[in-house]
A and B are shown apart, each in its own frame.
Chain A
Amino acid sequence: MAELELQSICKAFQHPVLDRLSLKVPQGEFFVIVGPSGIGKTTLLRCIAGLENLDGGKILFDGQDVTNVPPYQRGAAMTFESYALYPHKTVFENIASPLVAAKTEVTEIRRRVQDVTKLLQIPHLLERKPHEISGGQKQRTALGRTLVAKPKVYLLDEPISHLDAKIRAELRIQFHTLKELREVATVYVTHDYAEALSLGDRIGVMGDGGLVQIGTGREVFDQPNSLFVAQHLGQPTINVLDGQLQKDNEDLVFKSDEMQLPVSRELANKLKNDSGREVKIGLRPQFIHCLSEWENDKDLPVFSFQAEVELNEALGSYGVLLVKAMGKSLTVITSPEIHYSPGQKVELSIETNRSLYFDAQNGMNLGTDLTRMEADG
């Protein structure tokens, strides 16, 4: 039984970093925090670990207030982005150090270190010192030191960011299946949205002052509550255009210079009184299609327009097309097999029911329920 709860914690340095942040991570949950660099993700972890004193609020492990408990009595295990390996100790001693500190029996230490190193594929490095191994191996050693402990809360600060793609993918799968992680609460920090979507039971997107949105991967990806969240998740980044909602006969349309896009019926109902409102539209690149690639068995979309190719990036599993349409630059995801050359004219279509509309001033998603947003943030 291990559960983490944060009750409106506050932390400021020169400016407020965490502003009344509340969060509950139940036992066995893998909670991923994603956000741009410098936003305070690491600070949040350090607060939970007890390395920073709070300016306000409470931290509870298992319902017990640990706000004023020193870090070494808290029972959290943390990886550091800078690895923080002990330079004079071997990999084995580094990984064993939390067990040594807890006065574990020698045979037990040996067994657990071996288990962990096997998992991380570093059993051949046990006798080496940190300066004799590569960056990725150091990171795995640091991760091993965290995993070997039996804490109440795991705090993982970008634990696999510096590994090569192959090992990263393998470890990502390991994280899904590791039973140690499922026995306690885990908070995992990353800046890689794909990692977040893959690993997180729930994802918290961090913005200024705290978590802007909390939800499952699908929720934060499909229904971002704000432009900030929409821009942060997804690769290539979502297309954002400034414009205005206008009445066109009886239908509501989005108008931006020469571009005019129909607003989906569902949303139009909700916003029928908002004609003339300044908005930003978010169009995910994967929801814009080249009509030439349109599969025959799908209904042809009602809405299409002409565009001119500016750049074509073939990335193996998909292609990224930079196009200019009606005076706007757009990113489009295409099939990798078809080659487009700059200057070529293409017919594009937008899945308008997948478009996201944000308030031009505060960036809030106009499509989501306002009550939900308040509950999250």
Chain B
Amino acid sequence: MSLKAESVSPDWFKHKRADKNLIVNPVIPWLMIGFPVLILVAIVIYPTIWMGYHAFQNTNMMKLFYQDWEYIGWQNFATVLSDDRMWDSVGRLIQYLIFGACLEVLLGTILALTLFELVKSQLARVIILILLVLPMMLPPSIVATLWKFLLQAYNGAVNHLLIKIGILGPMERIEWLDAGLSLWSLTMVDVWQWTALPLLIVYSGRVSLPPAIYEAAKVDGASQFMVLRRLTLPLLKEIIAIAFIIRFMDAYKFVDKVYVMTSGGPAQSSELPVFIAFQKGIREVEIGEAAAYAWIIFAVAMVLITLFLKYLKKVLKAQTFA
């Protein structure tokens, strides 16, 4: 005889389960899902398929107008990949990622930990955080416009300030948005706006670390530097990485400030891949080539995001029990 307990539902329970107190017209769920699906199809799925199709056609403005494009195989991709303009922009993207995203995360981490260690009053912390986060609250196009004015070579406030404090002579000017400096200026503006995000992420991570282990470290005799190097940074490693991933993904599609401040110029010196795709597709109406651009960008993003998600999964798994 088996000793396994049989699970027999009592009658009242069966009765309760059989009770259909929510009677819904079967059409309603379909309607509720249907509308969002339709919208998605209209603005995302259809254009994506359309783009996929045109990446293999020789579509441009005239051909689109007369609807007589034809299949040309992988030729669009070949054009894009052999274009120096594309490879130059990839180089600039890497430069931007290293000096933009990394600097933002580095500065954000330093600021967050300094804020936590030095400012002990909760009110002061909140006020400082709000001040630091303000730039992030502005729309990127506004920030870009603002800085475009500030960085004007002649009437710009930045140069004016530099002359005032004597770094520049009275007749000297820095051409912030000139070919040599434009990408650096863009990076600087982006750092100004987005440092607050890693700051917030790292700060909240630091706040959530248990104070008891810091006390234990103090009693153990660890110096401030040791606590930072052996406790705080290893424990915040994953959180800093997540902050970097978020900034990286943003940076990858960085186009707004480029568009407003330099339009990729002068002489295409501040173009980034996404901006070129936009330029090709919307300005030059080289639909086929722009579609190929978009596919390449999409494919690289897929690879990167897969790697990031894999990393995130590992992090989450490690943190479940901690």
Contacts and interface: CB of A to CB of B under 8 A. Distances in A.
Interface string A101-118: 110000000000000000
Contacts of B222: 72, 97, 101
B215 interface: yes
Interface stretch (A25-33, A84-92, A242-250): A84-92
A97 B214 CA distance: 12
Interface string B179-216: 00000000000000000000000000000001011011
Contacts of A149: 220-221
Contact of A51 (B210, B213, B218, B221): B218
A97 B217 contact: yes
Interface string A53-89: 0000000000000000011111111101011111110
A145 interface: yes
Nearest to B322: A87
A49 B235 CA distance: 24
A200 interface: no
A70 B217 CA distance: 12
Interface string B157-193: 0000000000000000000000000000000000000
Nearest to A142: B216
A131 interface: yes
Contacts of A35: none
A86 B221 contact: no
A349 to B, nearest CB: 51
B105 to A, nearest CB: 20
Interface string B218-242: 1111110010000100110000000
Contacts of A132: 321
A84 B235 contact: no
Contact of A101 (B212, B226, B235, B322): B226
Interface in B42-58: none
Contact of A131 (B219, B220, B221, B321): B321
A113 to B, nearest CB: 14
A98 interface: yes
B28 to A, nearest CB: 46
Contacts, number: 69
A84 B218 contact: no
Interface residues of B, number: 18
Contacts of A102: 221
- Chain A interface size band reads 20 to 34
A72 B221 contact: yes
A84 B321 contact: no
B212 A84 contact: yes
Nearest to A71: B218
Contacts of B231: 86
A98 B226 CA distance: 12
A82 B219 contact: no
A368 B321 CA distance: 54
A166 B217 CA distance: 30
Contacts of A145: 216, 220
Contact of B220 (A82, A87, A97, A130): A97
Contacts of B215: 46, 49, 51, 71, 80, 84
A94 to B, nearest CB: 9
B220 A80 contact: no
A101 B213 contact: no
B221 A82 contact: no
A72 B223 contact: yes
A82 B321 contact: no
Contacts of B321: 131-132
A132 B222 CA distance: 25
Contacts of B210: 82, 84
B176 to A, nearest CB: 44
A224 B216 CA distance: 35
Given A82-B212, A84-B210, A86-B213, A77 B219 contact: yes
A331 to B, nearest CB: 39
Interface string B252-287: 000000000000000000000000000000000000
Contacts of B226: 101
B322 A84 contact: no
A76 B218 CA distance: 10
B221 to A, nearest CB: 4
Contacts of A50: 218-219
A159 to B, nearest CB: 13
* Best-buried of A72, A76, A149 by chain B (most CB within 10 Å): A72
Nearest to B224: A72
A102 B221 CA distance: 7
A45 B215 CA distance: 12
A347 to B, nearest CB: 48
A76 B219 contact: yes
A149 B213 CA distance: 17
A131 B223 CA distance: 26
A101 B234 contact: no
Contacts of A84: 210, 212-213, 215-216
Nearest to A77: B219
Nearest to A130: B322
B212 A70 contact: no
A131 B213 contact: no
Contacts of A76: 219
Given A71-B218, A72-B222, A87-B322, 15 more contacts: A51-B218, A71-B219, A72-B219, A75-B221, A76-B219, A78-B216, A80-B216, A84-B210, A84-B212, A85-B213, A88-B234, A101-B220, A101-B222, A101-B223, A149-B221
26 contacts: A46-B215, A49-B215, A51-B219, A71-B215, A71-B218, A72-B219, A72-B222, A72-B223, A73-B221, A76-B219, A77-B220, A80-B212, A83-B212, A84-B210, A85-B213, A85-B216, A86-B231, A87-B235, A87-B322, A88-B234, A88-B235, A88-B322, A97-B217, A101-B222, A101-B223, A101-B226
9 closest residue pairs by CB, A with B: A131-B321, A84-B212, A84-B216, A71-B218, A98-B220, A101-B221, A101-B222, A87-B322, A72-B221
